[in-house]
Amino acid sequence: MFLLAAAGAASAAEPLGEWKVEDDKATIRIVECNSRLWGVIASEQIPGNLDSKNPDKTKRTRPTLGIPILLNMKKADDEKDKWEGQIYDATSGKTYDANIQLKLRRHDLVRRPDLDARG
């Protein structure tokens, strides 16, 4: 399972937007296209990485920034807030069958005084 943490305005029930990968090395921008989720590397903690392990030799000199890594993720029929598809791992150059699932953790909830003042 691919784990993501909110990196901005994305909400727990909505996967679209920018998300940090669990090890905080990058952010992934997730968009919807034809009812499927796709994700690209939107930022990197250490910029300038190359897709050097890609099985397609012609792509080994391309920067990893902007490459698609969440591929054709379809909403699962059996579980809420879960999508199934493939993930490309640029560190190994391999593509895996995978799923993503959003889960709200208790410490993700933050009290906002500005909302309390509205009554």
CA distance 119 to 116: 6
pTM of the model: 0.74
pLDDT in the model for residue 108: 47
Residues of the chain with pLDDT under 50: 1, 3, 5-12, 107-119
C-beta separation of 20 from 42 below 8 A: no
CA 114, CA 119: separation in Å to the nearest integer?
A: 10
Half-sphere CA count of 17, side-chain side, radius 13 A = 15
CATH label of the domain that carries residue 23: 2.40.128.520
Confidence at residue 39, expressed as pLDDT on a 0 to 100 scale: 95
- Quick one: pLDDT at residue 104? 60
How many domains does the chain fold into? 1
Residue 74 has a pLDDT of 94
Query: Distance between CA 75 and CA 119 in Å, rounded?
Result: 37
**CA dist list (Å): 119 to 17, 111, 112, 116:** 29, 14, 12, 6
Tell me what pLDDT residue 100 has: 86
Range of the structural domain that residue 45 is part of: 4-116
